[in-house]
A = this chain, B = another copy of it.
Amino acid sequence: MNPDRLFSPNPTTRDIARQLYQTVAKLPIVSPHGHVNPRLFADPNATFGDPAELFVIPDHYVTRMLYSQGISLDTLLTGDHRQTWRLFCENFYLFRGTPSGIWLTHELSEVFDVDEKPSASNADRLFDSVSDKLSSPEFSPRKLFERFNIEVLCTTDAATDTLEYHQAIRQSGWSGRILPTFRPDGVVNLDAPNWKTNIEKLSEVSGIEVKDYKSFIQALEQRRAFFKSMGATATDHAALTPATADLSDVEADVIFQRALKDESKPNDAAQFTAHMLMEMARMSIDDGLVMQLHPGSLRNHNEIVFQKFGLDKGADIPLQTEYTRNLLPLLNKYGNDTRLTLILFTLDETTYSRELATLAGHYPALKLGPPWWFHDSLNGMARYFDQVMETAGIYNTAGFNDDTRAFCSIPARHDVWRRASANWLAGLVVRHIVDMNDAHEMIQDMAVNLAKRAYKI
Binding site for B on A (CB under 8 A): 1-2, 4-10, 12-13, 64-65, 67-70, 93-99, 101-102, 298, 301-305, 314-315, 317-320, 322, 324-325, 328, 331-332, 335-336, 338, 347-350, 353-355, 357-364, 366, 374-375, 377-380, 383, 386-387, 389-396, 427-428, 430-434, 438, 441-442
Contacts and interface: CB of A to CB of B under 8 A. Distances in A.
Contact of A324 (B70, B301, B349): B301
Chain A to chain B: the 10 pairs with minimum beta-carbon distance, closest first: A5-B432, A2-B432, A9-B430, A70-B338, A377-B390, A70-B364, A379-B386, A318-B354, A64-B362, A317-B324
B101 A302 contact: no
A169 to B, nearest CB: 35
B433 A320 contact: no
6 contacts: A64-B362, A68-B360, A97-B428, A98-B393, A315-B362, A357-B374
Given A12-B9, A319-B325, A379-B387, A362 B98 contact: no
A63 to B, nearest CB: 9
A359 B317 contact: yes
A102 to B, nearest CB: 7
Given A13-B9, A314-B362, A432-B2, A320 B354 contact: yes
A380 B352 CA distance: 12
B391 A374 contact: yes
Contacts of A428: 97
Contacts of A378: 390, 431, 433
Interface centre among A68, A336, A349, A379 (most CB of B within 10 A): A68
A363 B68 contact: yes
Contacts of A394: 96-97
Contacts of A319: 324-325, 354
Contacts of A314: 361-362
B101 A433 contact: yes
Given A7-B431, A390-B380, A393-B95, A353 B349 contact: yes
Contacts of A303: 332
A65 B366 CA distance: 12
A434 B332 contact: no
Contact of A389 (B97, B353, B438): B97
Nearest to A12: B9
Contact of A68 (B8, B350, B366, B434): B366
A357 B97 CA distance: 14
B324 A298 contact: yes
B317 A301 contact: no
Given A68-B396, A393-B97, A427-B9, A301 B318 contact: no
